[in-house]
Amino acid sequence: MDRYETRKVELKTLSPICIKGMEIEKYAYNFVRKDEYTAYAIDSDKLGLYLYEKTKNLSLIDILISNMEKKIKDETKNDFSIEKFLSDNKMYDYKNNKISEKELIAKGVFKSVVNTPLGGSFIRNGFGKPFIPGSSIKGVLRTAVMYKFAKNYKQQGHNNPVKKFIEEISDKLKEFKKLSQKKERENGKKEFSKEIQNYIFQDEEMNLSPHCDFFRYINVKDTPEVSGVKKQKAVVVYLEKSSILQVNPRENEVDLTNKVGRIVPFGGAGFKVECMGNQYSFANKADKEYREKKANHEGKNILIKKMGSNKISEFDFIDKEADTTIIGGNQQNEKFKARYKTDKSNNPLSMDIETFTGVTNFYISIDKKSLSEVKNIPFSNINELFDVVNEFSKDLWSYEKKMFEATTNEDLNLTSTREFYKQVQPNKFRIGWGTGFLGMTINLLFDDEQQVALRNILFNKEGYGFPAPKTRRLIYSSNEPTLPLGWVNFTLLNEK
């Protein structure tokens, strides 16, 4: 057996894709824009010498340091910009004044060029040409493998770390919710997202490291430069249940029609209903009747009829197994309405993005010998790896198809999006901006209530209801939302 396997993979877009590069704001302060797609990295020492030579004194250096210190004092140091400093002092402005550009390059102040596209621009290489990075493709492969691992472990009869992680997700979220400081919550979120990756990719090692991650045995090359990149508009579409939760400010009561909850034990002989990640008690008049039922129905599903701010008035026990229409693992008879996210003038809020439609390719190599030494890995060659990718993509496609089929045309026309998902498209995956939370995580494996709790707690979206995620980004054409973003077809070509 050859140690290495290399294949060429052809990509053909099924819908427009947008791969954004890292914007200049995401870098440190010492970058200055060169054009819409690239920026100069600054040599701070040579900048100091350049400023001194300009004035033969420390005046400009003092202004630079003063501006920086003020931002640090105001705790807005990320807003500090050498680009703004140069512009304010009439030395360099990439839009209006590039007279000093050659001088700044010659003096070594502008030391190199990095890719930092503006807004919705497509990522470009150092020559300003658009391409699809191998790292973006590898990210898709990694998510699919993580999904496969977790799905297999979840379905196993015996206990394992991944299965335990998924089953205890509600408790983990409650612990996270207790974190009050912003820094604590950010650190907690990072640890939360790392934990399952540690179990899957590093054989339960708790220190995430590229030197232990078995995905280091997979190498994905960038695509060649792609042509046909063009500007399009994308809109944000909100999906809401047709029976939107309406709160009466006087009675503080919410109607919950056809919302599924679950009986859970609480406080010895007591019990509550868990719904959308929260637990609710019952109105006093119903306590006795439901307490009598509790012994035989703990853990059973119920259909909630009416709920106050923290109490449930009525419910019926239901047979969850009888319903076969599933979205996100829960019973789903509901319909949804779609509406635009709008601007101050109530017009659809749109964003200009650069998209690619067409055909390109990339090379992938795997170290089969090293991978064979990793236990329980769900693939041993490139064909099997892309089978894993296809399985995840099939589940994601099915989820999105059912979601849009359950969405009415009351507020806007989604016919084009529905027709897109009616296609039978084998060998596909989703990549780039607009892919959404479900396309970049294993959240499809969680039920509706867990998805909502994950979104609400991790991203401070308390009060947001089902579905989670609640928004979809769609291409906007002829005054209507049309295609989703990021779907491509793949074909494995020759071995190298």
SS3 of 443, please?
Answer: helix
Q: Whole-model pTM?
A: 0.72
- In the chain, the number of structural domains is 3
Residue with the bigger pLDDT between 292 and 15: it is: 15
Distance CA 464, CA 441 (A): 19
Strand 278-282 and strand 311-317: the pairing is parallel
pLDDT in tens, 345-393: 888 888 999 999 999 999 999 999 998 888 778 899 999 999 999 999 9
Q: Residues 482, 450: one domain? A: yes
State mean pLDDT over 39-52. 90
State mean pLDDT over 127-148. 92
Last residue of a domain, one of 51, 82, 115: 115
Q: Residues 343, 472: one domain? A: yes
pLDDT-derived band at 234, boundaries 50, 70, 90: very high
pLDDT at 319: 54
On whether residue 17 sits in a domain, the answer given is no
On whether residue 384 sits in a domain, the answer given is yes
On whether residue 402 sits in a domain, the answer given is yes
pLDDT at 7: 96
In the block, tokens 């601007």 appear at: 343
pLDDT in tens, 374-387: 877 889 999 999 99
Q: Residues 199, 306: one domain? A: no
Q: Residues 346, 328: one domain? A: no
Last residue of a domain, one of 334, 358, 386: 334
What letters, b where the CB count within 10 A reaches 16 and e where it falls short, cover 388-424?
bbbebbebbbebbbbbbebbeeeebebebbeebbeee
Distance CA 33, CA 82 (A): 10
pLDDT at 100: 87
Q: Tell whether the model's pLDDT for residue 329 goes beyond 50.
A: no
Q: Tell whether the model's pLDDT for residue 293 goes beyond 60.
A: no
Please list, in sequence order, all residues whose beta carbon lies within 8 angstroms of the beta carbon of residue 24, skipping any fewer than 6 positions away. 31, 33, 39, 83, 116
On whether residue 381 sits in a domain, the answer given is yes
Distance CA 315, CA 452 (A): 21
Distance CA 97, CA 117 (A): 20
Q: How many CA atoms lie within 13 A of 420 on its CB side?
A: 22
Distance CA 145, CA 151 (A): 10
Q: Residues 196, 283: one domain? A: no
Q: Residues 447, 359: one domain? A: yes
Share of the chain above pLDDT 70, in %: 75
pLDDT in tens, 76-113: 555 678 888 888 888 898 888 888 899 999 999 998 88
Last residue of a domain, one of 304, 334, 364: 334
- Please give, one letter per residue, the 3-state secondary structure of 153-175: HHHCCCCCHHHHHHHCHHHHHHH
On whether residue 48 sits in a domain, the answer given is yes
Please list, in sequence order, all residues whose beta carbon lies within 8 angstroms of the beta carbon of residue 170, skipping any fewer than 6 positions away. 277, 450, 453
Q: Tell whether the model's pLDDT for residue 256 goes beyond 60.
A: no
* 35: containing domain: 31-115
Q: Residues 444, 366: one domain? A: yes
pLDDT at 287: 54
pLDDT at 200: 64
pLDDT-derived band at 244, boundaries 50, 70, 90: very low
Mean pLDDT in the chain?
Answer: 79
pLDDT at 94: 86
Q: Residues 445, 474: one domain? A: yes
Q: Tell whether the model's pLDDT for residue 252 goes beyond 60.
A: no
Distance CA 474, CA 233 (A): 9
On whether residue 359 sits in a domain, the answer given is yes
What letters, b where the CB count within 10 A reaches 16 and e where it falls short, cover 116-143?
bbeebbbbbeeeeebbbbbebbbbbbbb
Q: Residues 221, 353: one domain? A: yes
Mean pLDDT lowest among 39-48, 203-212, 233-242: 203-212
pLDDT-derived band at 412, boundaries 50, 70, 90: confident
Q: Residues 358, 265: one domain? A: no
CA 400 → CA 128, 201, 327, distances in Å?
35, 28, 9
Q: Residues 267, 402: one domain? A: no
pLDDT at 353: 94
Mean pLDDT lowest among 202-206, 208-212, 366-370: 202-206
| CB-CB contact of 29 with 81 (8 Å) | yes
Q: Residues 81, 215: one domain? A: no
Selection from 264-278, 343-357, 380-394, 447-461 with the highest mean pLDDT: 380-394
pLDDT at 330: 41
Share of the chain above pLDDT 90, in %: 30
The one-letter amino acid at 248: N
Mean pLDDT lowest among 68-72, 221-225, 233-237: 68-72
Distance CA 174, CA 454 (A): 10
Mean pLDDT lowest among 15-24, 226-235, 426-435: 15-24
Distance CA 130, CA 405 (A): 35
pLDDT-derived band at 165, boundaries 50, 70, 90: confident
CA 155 → CA 143, 150, 159, distances in Å?
18, 9, 10
CA 282 → CA 256, 291, 316, distances in Å?
14, 10, 13
pLDDT-derived band at 314, boundaries 50, 70, 90: confident
On whether residue 164 sits in a domain, the answer given is yes
State mean pLDDT over 213-232. 92
Please list, in sequence order, all residues whose beta carbon lies within 8 angstroms of the beta carbon of residue 300, skipping any fewer than 6 positions away. 262, 263, 317
Q: Tell whether the model's pLDDT for residue 136 goes beyond 90.
A: yes
pLDDT-derived band at 206, boundaries 50, 70, 90: very low
Distance CA 356, CA 18 (A): 6
On whether residue 53 sits in a domain, the answer given is yes
pLDDT-derived band at 247, boundaries 50, 70, 90: very low
Mean pLDDT lowest among 140-149, 170-179, 289-298, 398-407: 289-298
Residue with the bigger pLDDT between 393 and 124: it is: 393
Q: Tell whether the model's pLDDT for residue 172 goes beyond 50.
A: yes
Q: Could you tell me which of 290, 289, 281 has the C-alpha nearest to residue 311? A: 281
State mean pLDDT over 118-142. 89
pLDDT at 355: 96
